[in-house]
């Protein structure tokens, strides 16, 4: 398969099923999950996986890129929502919750400590989309005006670290994220 040649419809569907099955498998079992198990879950043969991804590591990286891209798409869509402030806070909470279930995704969003990092283009895209949603929420008066994308990136990284720490204590999951989200609300 050449990179310039578009995939047939059935090949696109197979690739999407493989990515979906791989995301679930990697999230639950980590890199130890065998490729034949991912193929079984996707309803394809292992040869289909190898036609799209030359190795398990390449599949793993594609899963992370795909998920980060989905976050960017969702943020762009929500920036045009009727209530962007509510959507921003709910979205940020979902991103944190989902990233906590997948260490590689968590590391990719933090852009630290992982061997799998989204490409510069994917990183730029996701933070531009997060910035657009943040800006819409700020224009709606629902989020502090003094927060920028750099702050958001640091806050997201901090929230992921706080939630990992909370899992090792007696704090309920999500409590620290709730405190962080409250801190983003405009001052009275």
> How far is Cα 17 from Cα 27, in angstroms, rounded to an integer?
15
Q: Please give the angle made by the CA atoms of 95, 91 and 146, to the nearest 5 degrees.
A: 100
Q: Which residues of 77-95 are buried (b: 16+ CB within 10 A; e: fewer)?
A: ebbebeebbebbbebbbeb
The CB density around residue 139, as the number of other CB atoms within 10 Å, is 13
Comparison of pLDDT for 163 and 153, the residue scoring more:
153
Comparison of pLDDT for 40 and 162, the residue scoring more:
40
- pLDDT greater than 50 at residue 142: yes
Q: What is the pLDDT of residue 146?
A: 96
Mean pLDDT across 5-30: 86
pLDDT tens sequence across 33-83: 899 999 999 999 999 999 999 998 899 888 888 888 899 999 999 999 999
């Amino acid at each position: 398969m050449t990179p310039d040649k578009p995939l047939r419809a059935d090949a696109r569907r197979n690739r999407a099923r493989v990515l979906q099955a791989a995301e679930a498998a990697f999230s639950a079992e980590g890199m130890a999950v065998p490729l034949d198990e991912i193929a079984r879950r996707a309803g394809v043969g292992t040869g289909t996986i190898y036609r799209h991804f030359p190795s398990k590591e390449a599949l793993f990286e594609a899963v992370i890129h795909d998920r980060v891209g989905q976050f960017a798409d969702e943020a762009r869509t929500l920036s045009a929502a009727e209530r962007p402030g509510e959507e921003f806070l709910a979205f940020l909470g979902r991103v944190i919750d989902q990233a906590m279930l997948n260490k590689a995704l968590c590391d990719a969003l933090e852009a630290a400590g992982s061997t799998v990092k989204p490409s510069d283009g994917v990183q730029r895209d996701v933070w531009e989309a997060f910035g657009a949603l943040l800006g819409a929420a700020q224009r709606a008066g629902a989020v502090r005006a003094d927060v920028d994308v750099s702050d958001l990136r640091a806050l997201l990284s901090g929230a992921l670290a706080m939630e990992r720490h909370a899992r090792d204590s007696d704090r309920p999951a999500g409590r620290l994220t709730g405190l962080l989200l409250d801190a983003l609300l405009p001052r009275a």
